[in-house]
Structure 1
Amino acid sequence: MPALSPLCLACAAALSVPGAAWAQAAPVTLKEVVVSGSRSERALDEVPASVDVLTGEDLDGAQVQDIRDLARELPNVSVKRAAQRFSGVSPGGTGRDGNAGFNVRGLEGNRVLLTVDGIRVPRELTSGVFGSASFGRDYYDLGLISRVEILRGASSALYGSDGLAGMVAMSTTEPAELLKAGQTFGGRVGLKLDSENDSRGVGLTLAGRPSDTLQWLGSVQVGRSSELDNQGTNTALNSTRTAPNPQKDEDVSVLGKLVFTPGGGQKHTITLEHVDKSSEVEAYTGRTTSATSGSVLDLDGTTDMRRSRLSWDGRFRIDSAWADELRATVGVQDSDSREVTHEQRTVSPTQRSRDVTYSEQLWQGVLQAEKTRALGGDWSQKLVYGADVTVSHMDNLVTGTGAPSYERYPLKRFPETRETTTALFVQSEFATDRWSVIPALRYDRFELKPRNDGLYPLDAASLSDSAFSPKLGVIFRPASNWSLFGNLAAGFRAPSPLQLNNYFENPFGNYRTIPNPDLKPETSQTLELGTRGSTHGFQWEAAVFNGRYKDFIEELVAVGGSMFTPADPLTYQAVNRGRVRLHGFELKGHYALGKATNLRVAFGQTQGKDTVTDRPLNSVNPAKLVVGLDHRLGDWKLGAALTHVAKKSTSDIDTSGTPNQFATPAYTTLDLSASWQVTPSTRLSAALRNVTDRKYWEWTNVRGIAAHSPVLDAYTAPGRSLALALVTEF
């Protein structure tokens, strides 16, 4: 068990205050606005951290059609979407993971915790040992989502592993959101189009209230789309192509809910969610330019991604000495992703294929209690505490035809692994009208236990470890309309099964990868200071942050051997070796220019460096400024947003992997939007993006691409595009 840090000890001391026994005082009423920042509902200005909340018009179907659009105007948040230029059986392709996942303040992948209705989203899986296969984290259909909270900074004190950089918490639609007062049946129909990827979607959501104690909801979302547009003009049917590869995507998602409120403060919600996404790509870019020996004549691929969840959320009003409210959540989730590549060549085997699957089954249970009491004088205390248990089974399979000479299908890159995490957490808020002091502490114990598997030839390593994650938040309110806040928090991320037991061997090339039973979890310490408030129609929030991260896990690191020695081959392993510092700031503001006109501004900048190698961190995106103007005119709402992204300086790029790495130039784009309330229940909206048809590259999508690459235009962002959405409620 690790030693407690000074922050742990400080939080543990602050969590317990001697004095009177629990008093049955009236609880402090908190606005139901934000959940992710504290595990309980509270107003945004009562959270000592930066949180973006997207709901209602923020999720308008014309402006937000996938998770990339969620981050379009947010400072220090992005979503990677690299060009689909994958290769076949051999390594070297990029971009097959689609919308890979969120980048928050320079960290991405599994270092950002993702949840839907409190249940964890499957992990990202990508590694050179899978060839060009790569599995992202876009297990979402935003047609089922009514609320998104993006929490910046370490969140492990409340949510455990993966909360190293932040958290994205999504909530699915509730029946009450569609049922007006006195209504027993209602619904919503939505249609959407987007020229950016020629997408067409339709959604139907129905809700009912058969009795005072029962509500139900059913939703079906269906979508079709093509390849994401870019500004490449070369349409050759080979590797010189810069136009997108032809692609066909199909999405089908279903949501069902039952909400039972029998009285006495009880509420039970049963949710069934299923998301199914598939894609077919004709990979012209994988074809060689001439029919020589070993040439690839044809290449195509398919991807399938499915996630199914059944969960129960129960809330009980018990008003006892130890808790006012008790909440229990149990969820079962089954997810799997599959990528298949077919290749036709000029040499034997003339036909070969690779079929890679990744599956993750999860069981999660949370029991949480809340208690509010008066402490005397102006002080009150709100206590949130509980237990969290998660059990995941992760597996993979590589098979196909025409395997390389050094491998034999089927095989596994890591054995089927069970990961078990048990945790205890507690957060206590001491508050007056001017002060809130919010310490929290969580203890996690995790174990990765592989199973013996004939398709995995090595002796698999097991791993067990623990982590304390403390947090201390403070809010000071000098006046009723503004506050200062500070947040000191720790985070951690457990190693993945692939990092623990990565297997690959090429006896002809004399190199291999081996397990590492000595891996430690990645950890972080982050400090954030900020202010937020409002005056004379102006609302603002500003924050500065500094984070230190250690024991970063780096995969495929050479740890010994020689490429030319069969008895001692070159050996790779995942190891703890990184120490990273990230710091920056964010500004957000809204100003009412008049009763119908609103100006909004957002700016974010992050800088990061590996302090061991003194090299920049390439996952950090350039600074971004967004200036928007919204105006309401009767039944119309008109908007414009100007986005400026700074250039990626060569001094801010680690070129050790790609010596001549392309540095993206600065760019500015203009987006226009309009929304017309046709009737009280029907809204038509439109978004015209990149009005000037500006050619530009997003840094997150070109990492690893050389400046002299002849296909650089293949990585450009879409040009001018139009999106439409029609929504009617009844």
Structure 2
Amino acid sequence: MNLSPSLLSLAVFASLSVVPAVRADAPADAGTLDTVRVEAERAKKSKSRNQNVTVLSAADLDAEMANNMEEAIRYIPGVSIVDMGRFGDNGFNIRGLESDRVAITVDGLSLGESVETARSYEFFRGGRGDVDIDTLKSLQVIKGADSITAGSGALGGAVVFTTKDPADYLKAAGNDTHVGVKLGYSGANDETMGTLTFANRTGIAESMLVYTRREGHESESWYDSTVDRAGVGRRTPDPVDSTRDNLLAKLDLQLDPRNTLGFMLERGRARNEVDNLSRVYSPGYLERRGDDRNDRDRYGLRWQYRPENTLFDTLEAQLDHQVTDSRGLTTIVAGSGCPGGAVPCLRSEDRATEQTLDRAALDFTKVLDAAGVRHDIVYGLAWQQRDVDFTAVDTRWNAAGEIATVDQDPRQVPKTDARSWNLYLRDSVSLFDDRLVLSGGARYDRYDYSPTVDASFVDPTGSVRDVRFAAPSWQAGAEFRFLPDHALWLQAGRGFRAPSVADLYSPTSTTRAFDAVTGAAIVLDGMTSNPGLEAERSLNLEAGYRWTTDRAQLGLSLFRDRYSNFIEYVTQVQAVPNGFRTSPTSEVQYENRYSTPSNAGKVTVKGVELEGRWQMTDAWSSRIAASYSEGEKADGDPLESIVPASAVLGLRYAPSPAWNVTANVTRGWGKNASDAYTTAADGTREAPDWVGKADGYTVVDLVGSWNVTPQLRLSAGIYNLTDREYYLWQRVRGISEGTNTLYGYVNEEGIGRYSEPGRNARVTVAYSF
């Protein structure tokens, strides 16, 4: 990408005049950076000791009126959402690493794995699960390896969700009740939402219920949808009717001053009904509709024990059970290929995956403070079992509307039991009145995979088998405050990602051929699994400088992350002594090439990040955040998933606790073909078709809130204020140009449906008593 050399100098200059806004609930005389202190205290309580952590509280998410994860992280440069098109989101991209390479946990429990089938036909892509914004107490974005906190998948970083507790709504002591109602509307997808919150403390019992209902449509593009077409030239997104229900319930019993017993239930239901107009063409698909569902249920039991004895100050025992169901039902009215020959006819493709996760964990904390040296120690162990299952049923009707065939397709992955356990220990040592802080930790994981080969998952290659491997990881860091307001820090970490079930056990196949000399029939591999895969690993090195005063903060970090054992599908050549032919009489000989997942090579990512804040007066505050990364594969090709450089400048005016207004300016740089290409075997470079569309943008957002009374709060925002047409690289990089009706094929008009929404508004009303 082309990045102006003056970006860093501009960012440093701007940080002295622009920095994040103080919280809306800050006191009227807030003349210091309360948010900085709050986030610092929150980070200290986190198990993570990573120096590069962005924490968004529930108040931060409310202030931005975030309705989904993309809106929640929109002002965090270097972080984006992985887009699955029709099937929604599939995790996060941090510093160019994405999807399963970024760990996601909810209250310590991992979300599901990705499962994808025949992406070109867009019948099914199983996401990792969903978390509703209104249930979150905090959202932590950890940049850089920290597997000790988040476990497998924390290669380039992790996203850690913590859900709300009853005590978050109640007074510090005594019986109390809280009731809250929140209503909102978002113009970007015509979504209406409502959240009802109830919390109560009676005696030793604290209870909470948070229920959210969302009803909306597809996220708009920049173009008007009043007149549009079907097929690849459609420039507005396919119509979607979306509903989401989420329930979070908790009950905490304070048995005595040292013992707390907690129960929780979380139930999420998401459904998208899609009129897949962009895939309609004659005579193949006369109509095409999708009914996609993503459900997640979680049940948990937690015991907290605070004896403050020799071995530990606190113990937390946790049992969790989670079931994630994803389903994609595609119904097609076909104008060709119908049973019996008569047209039109109906067909359906029903794909589903179920992932069940059981986990038991023990976590301990201990503080030792003697002779001016303080140790903050965390350690623990956990066991979990993930069961992954997949089903596919194809149904065909004839032109008379009678069922002609019902076939169960082979599984995309075998039914697999994946068991694991881990141990971890981390110590943070404070010396010289906290001027020097040293931290170090290690973790050990063991994984056992047991696939089932049966009639629904046939393995003609014999490559599917049980596999077992271990994965050690570690992290170390130091922070030195050499002057009262100035500090330098260093950190290094080794992360890992265990292969997923889909990585290890992809569908296998063989092909029949004939020996070129003898003419004898032979069986050759077409696609194989690879249970011999090794865990992907990362070595993350980072250094930074931090300047902090009561009214200002400036942080600068440089990082270099090296990844090894990257898992990719590669083409192998199978040795055949005499070559082979496609038929006994064929004159042409071929090499047998087959596809298999492999630990393909190494990737290096490096970059710079900057964040600054300044409380200019009691009423005016400002912020900057900027990020630049570049990545390179072992063969010298760039890592295409790197998101172009971006910067956010914000200015906030809050003359009193009653009201405030914030303007945020986001600048995104473009992606050039020189930063996104693959070198072919003949040495030519192939760039994604629409790399030129991600040509950079500047977007202005204006948001504000008014506390009408202590109980009633109004918030409103206008996004993309200047109505700019722009495209995000992470959304267009997998799109191909052409007239083919497979996924992602568009023409010059059709690319418009991947543009971002034009000017749009949001409003929320919250009332509590």
Q: Which TM-score band applies after superposition, normalised by the shorter structure?
A: 0.7 to 0.9
Offset, 1:673:
0.5
* Corresponding position: 1:245 with 2:245: no
* Corresponding position: 1:624 with 2:625: no
State TM-score, norm by structure 1: 0.88
Match in the other structure for 1:683: 713
CA distance in 2 between partners of 1:413 and 1:559 (Å)? 24
Match in the other structure for 1:10: none
The residue identity in structure 1 corresponding to 2:329 is V
The residue identity in structure 1 corresponding to 2:307 is I
Residue pair 1:461, 1:516 contacting (<8 A) in 2 also: no
Match in the other structure for 1:447: 448
* Corresponding position: 1:310 with 2:299: yes
Match in the other structure for 1:22: none
> Paired residue for 2:100, among 110, 114, 133?
110
Offset, 1:112:
0.7
State TM-score, norm by structure 2: 0.84
Match in the other structure for 2:74: 72
Match in the other structure for 1:393: 387
Distance 1:397 1:570, change over 3 A: farther
**Runs of 5+ in structure 1 lacking a partner?**
1-30, 83-94
Superposition map of 1:326-365 within 5 A:
326-349=315-338, 350-365=345-360
What is the root-mean-square deviation of aligned Cα atoms in Å? 2.6
Match in the other structure for 1:298: 287
Superposition map of 1:424-463 within 5 A:
424-432=423-431, 433=433, 434-458=435-459, 459=462, 460-463=464-467
Superposition map of 1:644-723 within 5 A:
644-655=667-678, 658=687, 660-663=689-692, 664-706=694-736, 709-710=747-748, 711-723=750-762
Distance 1:337 1:34, change over 3 A: farther
The residue identity in structure 2 corresponding to 1:700 is Q
* Corresponding position: 1:549 with 2:560: no
Superposition map of 1:610-621 within 5 A:
610=633, 612-621=634-643
Match in the other structure for 1:189: 181
Offset, 1:73:
0.5
Offset, 1:385:
1.3
Distance 1:700 1:676, change over 3 A: same
Superposition map of 1:633-648 within 5 A:
633-634=655-656, 635-648=658-671
Offset, 1:426:
0.7
State which structure, 1 or 2, has the greater radius of gyration over its C-alpha atoms.
Answer: 2
Offset, 1:642:
0.6
Distance 1:552 1:481, change over 3 A: same
Between 1:701-710 and 1:495-504, the stretch displaced more is: 701-710
The residue identity in structure 1 corresponding to 2:69 is I
The residue identity in structure 2 corresponding to 1:521 is A
Q: Secondary structure at the match of 2:643?
A: coil
CA distance in 2 between partners of 1:35 and 1:344 (Å)? 58
CA distance in 1 between partners of 2:393 and 2:573 (Å)? 28
CA distance in 2 between partners of 1:56 and 1:494 (Å)? 32
Residue pair 1:36, 1:151 contacting (<8 A) in 2 also: no
Match in the other structure for 1:25: none
CA distance in 2 between partners of 1:41 and 1:596 (Å)? 31
CA distance in 2 between partners of 1:695 and 1:142 (Å)? 27
CA distance in 1 between partners of 2:279 and 2:120 (Å)? 17
The residue identity in structure 1 corresponding to 2:429 is F
Identity %: 27
Compare relative contact order (CA 8 Å, sep 6+) and give the higher one, 1 or 2.
2
The residue identity in structure 2 corresponding to 1:300 is R
Between 1:681-690 and 1:508-517, the stretch displaced more is: 508-517
**Runs of 5+ in structure 2 lacking a partner?**
1-36, 339-344, 398-403, 514-523, 585-590, 680-685, 739-746
The residue identity in structure 2 corresponding to 1:445 is R
Match in the other structure for 2:369: 374
Distance 1:603 1:351, change over 3 A: same
CA distance in 1 between partners of 2:583 and 2:525 (Å)? 9
CA distance in 2 between partners of 1:248 and 1:511 (Å)? 43
Residue pair 1:560, 1:572 contacting (<8 A) in 2 also: no
Residue pair 2:64, 2:72 contacting (<8 A) in 1 also: no
CA distance in 2 between partners of 1:221 and 1:443 (Å)? 38
CA distance in 1 between partners of 2:732 and 2:439 (Å)? 41
Distance 1:331 1:453, change over 3 A: same
CA distance in 1 between partners of 2:446 and 2:190 (Å)? 47
Give a deviation string over 1:340-366, Cα, whole Å, max 9, x none.
111122112232221111111001121
CA distance in 1 between partners of 2:254 and 2:39 (Å)? 21
Distance 1:280 1:659, change over 3 A: closer
CA distance in 2 between partners of 1:32 and 1:329 (Å)? 27
Q: Secondary structure at the match of 2:228?
A: coil
Q: Secondary structure at the match of 2:88?
A: coil
CA distance in 1 between partners of 2:374 and 2:714 (Å)? 47
Offset, 1:591:
0.5
Q: Would you say how many aligned residue pairs link Structure 1 and Structure 2?
A: 676
CA distance in 2 between partners of 1:563 and 1:655 (Å)? 30
Residue pair 2:559, 2:607 contacting (<8 A) in 1 also: yes
* Corresponding position: 1:271 with 2:264: yes
Match in the other structure for 2:145: 154
Offset, 1:680:
0.5
CA distance in 2 between partners of 1:255 and 1:316 (Å)? 24
> Paired residue for 2:507, among 499, 503, 526?
503
Q: Secondary structure at the match of 1:110?
A: helix
Offset, 1:560:
3.9
Residue pair 1:158, 1:442 contacting (<8 A) in 2 also: no
Offset, 1:678:
0.9
Match in the other structure for 2:55: 53
